[in-house]
Amino acid sequence: MYVDRTNGSSLELRKSAVLFRYGKSDFEFGALQAAELKEHLEGVFQGWPLDVIQGKDYIEVRPEGVGKGKVIEHILDKMRIDGNPADFVLCIGDDVADELMFEKLNEMIANTELPREKVFTCTVGQKPSKAEFYLDDYTDVIALLKSLKVVSTKTA
């Protein structure tokens, strides 16, 4: 129904989520439709183990507790259990969905599961975030990655 009324929008089915994407629609109208859809879905799914998340240009419905925070926790725990703990963690994100990842890393640091000096979290754009640092835009992300490549090549 929302896809039909919002030209340029689409429905994306994933293994563990459904997304209403409106980035290719008239952004103002798409954002209004998305806000209405989010409110509707939160009402319909109240009491269900589901999260309704609004990103930059999408609404996502997924099982509770599924997301980047859980993924990063799983990867780092597996590395530690295998006897090869991470010696450098860099997480960069530009969306509200990335905040769960930053939050999980901050929690792991607070619980002394990860040393703070080995973890770098960055959000793209100056905005409130749980990330420790920010990069102005994607060109800064590319510059940072190129700098890390040069340094890692020198130390290899």
pLDDT in tens, 8-38: 999 999 988 999 999 999 989 999 999 999 9
8 and 27 together in one domain: yes
Residue 83 sits at φ, ψ, to 5 deg, of: 80, 15
Q: What is the pTM of this model?
A: 0.73
pLDDT in tens, 103-132: 999 999 999 888 999 999 999 999 999 999
Domain that holds residue 30: 2-63
Q: Is residue 102 within a helix (H) or strand (E), and if so which, with residue range?
A: helix 99-110
Give the residue among 100, 98, 30 at the shortest CA–CA distance from 58. Answer: 30
Instruction: Please calculate the CA angle 38-15-121 and round it to the nearest 5 degrees.
Output: 70
The residue among 63, 92, 110 that closes a domain is 63
The residue among 63, 86, 111 that closes a domain is 63
